[in-house]
Amino acid sequence: MNVHVTICQHTDLSSTINNSRTVLFACSDHPSVISSTNNKLVFSSVNLREIVCMCSFNSEYYGPSLTLVTDMGVILGRIDDIQKLHVRSLVLGESVKRIAYMDEEKIYIILTQYMNSYQTDTIVPISKQAYQKIDCTTKIEKIKVLTEQQQEENDVCNSIVVLDQHTHEAHASVKLLNNEEAISLCVLTFADDPSIPYIAVGTTIICNDEDDPKYGRIILFRYKNGHMNMISEKELNEVPLKMLPFHGKLLVSIGNGIRLYTFSLENHELIQLSQTSTESVECLELKVKDDFILTGDLMRSLTIFRYNIDENKFENIAHDPHPQWTIACEFIDDDAFVCAEDGGNLISCHKNSGSTKEQERNILNELGSYHVGEEINLFRRGCLVTQQTAESTIILETCILMGAVSGYIGLLLQLPPTLYKLLMSLQLKLAEYVPSVGKIDHSTWRSFDSDGRSNVSNGFIDGDLIETYLDLPKTVQQELIKDLHGENNVSLNTTVEELVKTIEELSRIH
User: What is the average pLDDT across 439-459?
Assistant: 84
State yes or no: pLDDT of 59 exceeds 80. Answer: no
- Quick check: 409 and 400 in contact, CB under 8 A? no
Question: Is residue 226 located within the same domain as residue 304?
Answer: no
pLDDT above 90: residue 107: yes
Highest mean pLDDT: which of 128-132, 309-313, 357-361? 128-132
Answer for the pair 390, 348: CB distance below 8 angstroms, yes or no.
Answer: no
Q: Is residue 280 part of a domain?
A: no
C-alpha–C-alpha distance, residues 85 and 346, integer Å? 26
- Domain ends where: 55, 77, 99? 77
Residues 408 and 423 in one domain: no
400 and 432 housed in the same domain: no
Number of domains in the chain: 4
Q: Is 371 contained in some domain? A: yes
- Residue at a domain's end among 77, 107, 129: 77
What pTM was estimated for this model as a whole? Answer: 0.79
Sign of CA pseudo-dihedral 442, 447, 449, 453: negative
- Identify the CATH number of the domain in which residue 468 sits: 1.10.150.910
Helix (DSSP H) and strand (DSSP E) numbers for the chain: 7, 33
Same domain, yes or no, for 197 and 330?
Answer: no
Alpha carbons within 13 A on the beta-carbon side of 186: 20
Same domain for 300 and 180?
no
Alpha carbons 317 and 106: distance in angstroms, whole number: 38
pLDDT exceeds 80 at position 441:
yes
Cα–Cα distances (Å) from 300 to 211, 280, 304, in that order, read 22, 6, 12
134-166 pLDDT, tens digit each:
999 999 988 888 888 765 667 889 999 999 998
Residue 81 pLDDT: 56
Residue 352, pLDDT score: 84
**Taking the CB of residue 198, how many other CB atoms lie within 10 A of it?**
20
The distance of Cα 474 from the centroid of its chain, to the nearest Å, equals: 35
CATH number of the domain to which 200 belongs: 2.130.10.10
Q: Which long-range contacts (CB under 8 A, 24 or more apart) does 4-10 make?
A: 5/41, 5/43, 7/32, 7/43, 8/32
In a domain, 146, yes or no: yes
Using alpha carbons, select from 180, 230, 182 the residue that is nearest to residue 202. Answer: 182
Stretch 125-139: mean pLDDT: 93
Neighbours of 53 (CB within 10 A): 12
State the pLDDT confidence band at 434, using cuts at 50, 70 and 90: confident
Is residue 490 pLDDT above 70, yes or no? Answer: no
Q: What pLDDT shows up at residue 337? A: 94
Is there a domain that residue 270 lies in? no
Does residue 341 sit in the same domain as residue 372? yes
Q: Which of 242, 244, 316, 327 is nearest to 276 (CA)?
A: 316
Domain match, 109 and 236 both:
yes
Residue 502 and residue 477 in one domain: yes
Which of 398, 400, 406, 442 is closest to 424 using CA atoms?
442
- 196, 217, 247 - which closes a domain: 247
Residues 115 and 235 in one domain: yes
Instruction: Tell whether 300 and 408 lie within a shared domain.
Output: yes
The pLDDT score that the predictor gives to residue 15 is 78
Same domain flag for 112 and 238 = yes
- Taking the C-alpha atoms of residue 115 and residue 387, their distance in angstroms, rounded to an integer, is 43
Residue pLDDT, tens place only, 9-53: 567 787 777 767 777 888 887 787 877 765 667 767 776 777 888
Q: What are the backbone angles phi and psi of residue 308, rounded to the nearest 5°? A: -85, 105
SS3 of 427, please? helix
Who wins on pLDDT, 67 or 113? 113
Domain-embedded: residue 253: no
Same domain, 108 and 167: yes
For 30, the domain range is 12-77
Residue 282 lies in a domain: no
- 281-300 average pLDDT score: 90
Q: By C-alpha distance, which of 301, 260, 250, 256 is closest to 283?
A: 256
3-state secondary structure (DSSP) of residue 36: strand
pLDDT at 466 over 80: yes
CATH of the domain at 56: 2.40.128
Q: Which residue has the higher pLDDT, 15 or 462?
A: 462
| Arithmetic mean of pLDDT over the chain | 85
Q: Is the pLDDT of residue 489 over 70?
A: no
Percentage of the residues of the chain whose pLDDT score is greater than 70: 90
Domain membership of residue 390 (yes or no) is yes
Kindly state whether residue 273 falls inside one of the protein's structural domains: no
Is residue 416 within 8 Å of residue 395, measured between CB atoms?
no
Distance CA 2, CA 285 (A): 56
Please compute Rg for the chain using Cα positions: 28
